[in-house]
Amino acid sequence: MLTLSAAQIAAAAADLYQAELAVRQIDALTLSYPQMSMDDAYAVQAAWMQKKYADGQQLIGYKIGLTSRAMQRVMKINTPDFGVLTDAMRMDEGSEIETARFNDPRIEVELAFVLKAPLRGANLTVMEVLNATDYVMPALELIDARSHRVNPHTGYVRTVMDTIADNAANAGIILGGRPVRPDALDLRWCGAILYRNAAIEETGLAAGVLNHPANGIGWIAKRFAAHGIGLEAGQILLSGSFTAPVAVKAGDTIHADYGVLGGIACRFV
């Protein structure tokens, strides 16, 4: 249920849009709109994405976030969230990433599903998701915060509504490693070791995503089903991080080792 007016939603989206362009963080939206509901937050996200489309960016897929029970407890919710991926967010494996383009960059370790067939429905099984998937491959998600995670003056901590409105914190995706057919191995046991400057920062297994990463894809489809929207062939879907985010700064080199699935490397400059 929406509690914000159309004008308030448009104003909040414009604030996030300008914050990203200027690379400056704004106050959490819930400070101005404490009544913001989850529907409001997604409406703000959608309005912001419309501005990106007007700039010429194109939708290439979606991401799911807050899939682990630990992160849900931190955010005081019991459900994941989702954000939008555009072509401007895609970065090449091995690239140098300009740190100054982001406010508070962090890296998460994920699997990406690339669809070969549409996915629609509110109760998709893991097998239905796998059957609609062309291939799965390693992915890093670059997350950012256009609004303060913690207000530097008051200590106010932004809520999950702020995160959702902020496109679920997405800022970029980096695909790499070896693509595999979805039935080539047990995806629950796909794991990764995340290095920053040759030091291990995080490790994890994809089972941390709702017990199977395909469940993350099914959750996105279920979220859209109520609106008559489906996931389309060719879209890239990030199934959710199975490590905690790692903060990065200029000079850092990131390497994610996915074992038999290869690896991804990038450098922040």
> 135, 159, 96, 155: which is closest to 237 by C-alpha?
135
Q: What is the pLDDT of residue 233?
A: 97
Per the prediction, the chain carries an average pLDDT of 93
Cα separation, 250 vs 253, in Å, equals: 9
Q: What is the pLDDT of residue 190?
A: 96
pLDDT band at 80; cut points 50, 70, 90: confident
What average pLDDT does this structure show over 42-65? 96
pLDDT band at 145; cut points 50, 70, 90: very high
Cα separation, 224 vs 153, in Å, equals: 38
pLDDT band at 77; cut points 50, 70, 90: low
pLDDT band at 61; cut points 50, 70, 90: very high
- Residue 162 or residue 66, greater confidence: 162
Look at residue 74 and tell me whether its pLDDT is greater than 60. no
Q: What percent of the chain has pLDDT over 70?
A: 96
- Residue 228 or residue 260, greater confidence: 260
What average pLDDT does this structure show over 237-246? 92
What average pLDDT does this structure show over 240-258? 95
Q: What is the pLDDT of residue 23?
A: 97
What average pLDDT does this structure show over 39-50? 96
What average pLDDT does this structure show over 149-170? 93
Q: What is the pLDDT of residue 68?
A: 64
Q: What is the pLDDT of residues 184-239, one digit of tens each?
A: 999 999 999 999 999 999 999 999 888 999 998 998 888 888 777 789 999 999 99
How far CA 36 is from CA of 12, 26, 40, 43, 161, in Å, comes to 11, 17, 6, 10, 7
Residue type, 73: R
Q: What is the pLDDT of residues 102-136, one digit of tens each?
A: 999 999 999 999 999 999 988 899 999 999 999 99
Q: Please, what sign has the CA dihedral across residues 142, 148, 150, 153? A: positive
> 46, 62, 36: which is closest to 10 by C-alpha?
46
Q: What is the pLDDT of residue 222?
A: 87
What average pLDDT does this structure show over 46-66? 95
Tell me the pairing of strands 170-175 and 90-91. parallel
CATH for 58-268, options being 3.40.50.300, 3.20.20.70, 2.40.440.10, 3.90.850.10? 3.90.850.10
Q: What percent of the chain has pLDDT over 90?
A: 83
Range with the lowest mean pLDDT among 46-55, 63-72, 166-175? 63-72
Look at residue 70 and tell me whether its pLDDT is greater than 90. no
Q: What is the largest CA-CA distance in the chain?
A: 51
